[in-house]
A and B are shown apart, each in its own frame.
Chain A
């Protein structure tokens, strides 16, 4: 795939995603994002940052 085609593909995906998120509340958007990540977590072998790690790793706030 060429670089320009990759850019265009990603642009299209992002436009669709923006439409899907229209009108959602913050809480709905959070729930949707985490639900989706959970769905793919096993498939992608992802580790998700745990709540207890957030305060120290990485440094979230000054």
Chain B
């Protein structure tokens, strides 16, 4: 099953389907991290490769980017605008899925945005969720429990990864 799902979502090489990637807010933010060159580099590759990645965001990313202050926030929003990710609209089922994750104690309810990122990617069948949130999102526990709940409810589960695990570096 894993390989069936994986091969359906991930493709490489010319004339292959693009990989759908939900880009969580931390990845956009780390494009501008002064002291994290490796993360910044991976995020840049992910954001810049229109030819292999189709990028998605949600109202949660929009909210969080909108709240980033000062010049940092302006540059961040300008970057999102230039890259033109596709916004996934909120629906009752997305919010209900978020709440289901909280009910099942995958992530505490006070971190509802972290939960919601996973719910958007799952509900819309996005192949990969890229994040630098290692506290709640890119975690073995989260990945395992999200897969279980999604399987029970009939949703596909995105590959939850850091950008380093996803992008292809120049050889």
Report which A residues bind B (CB closer than 8 A).
1-3, 6-7, 9-10, 13-18, 21, 26-27, 29-30, 33-34, 36-37, 40-41, 43-49, 54, 58-62
User: Whole-angstrom distance from the CB of A61 to the nearest CB of chain B?
Assistant: 6
Determine which of B65, B95, B112, B123 lies in contact with A17 in the assembled complex, contact meaning CB atoms within 8 Å.
B112
* B142: interface (CB < 8 Å): no
* B170: interface (CB < 8 Å): no
CB atoms of B34 and A10 under 8 A apart: no
Across the two chains, which residue of chain B brings its CB closest to A26?
B95
Please count the residue pairs between chain A and chain B whose beta carbons lie under 8 angstroms apart in the complex. 137
User: Whole-angstrom distance from the CB of A57 to the nearest CB of chain B?
Assistant: 9
Determine which of A2, A13, A30, A36 lies in contact with B68 in the assembled complex, contact meaning CB atoms within 8 Å.
A13
* B171: interface (CB < 8 Å): no
A3 to B27, CA, bound (A): 11
The stretch among B45-53, B77-85, B161-169 that forms the contact with chain A is B77-85
CB atoms of B125 and A46 under 8 A apart: no
Identify which of B20, B87, B114, B126 gathers the most chain A CB atoms within 10 Å of its CB: B87
- With a cutoff of 8 Å between Cβ atoms, the chain B residues found around residue A47 in the complex are 84, 86-87
CB atoms of B77 and A43 under 8 A apart: yes
CB atoms of B67 and A13 under 8 A apart: yes
Chain B residues touching A, majority SS: helix
CB atoms of A13 and B59 under 8 A apart: no
Determine which of A26, A46, A58 lies in contact with B87 in the assembled complex, contact meaning CB atoms within 8 Å.
A46
A41 to B68, CA, bound (A): 17
CB atoms of B125 and A58 under 8 A apart: yes
Across the two chains, which residue of chain A brings its CB closest to B36?
A3
New A-B pairs, 20, CB < 8 Å, besides A17-B60, A17-B63, A44-B62: A2-B34, A3-B35, A10-B26, A13-B67, A16-B67, A18-B111, A29-B95, A30-B90, A33-B63, A34-B89, A36-B59, A37-B90, A45-B81, A45-B84, A46-B80, A46-B84, A49-B87, A49-B88, A58-B125, A61-B154
User: Whole-angstrom distance from the CB of B94 to the nearest CB of chain A?
Assistant: 8
CB atoms of A34 and B59 under 8 A apart: yes
A17 to B90, CA, bound (A): 16
Give 1 or 0 for each of B24-41: 1 = CB within 8 Å of chain A CB: 011001101111100100
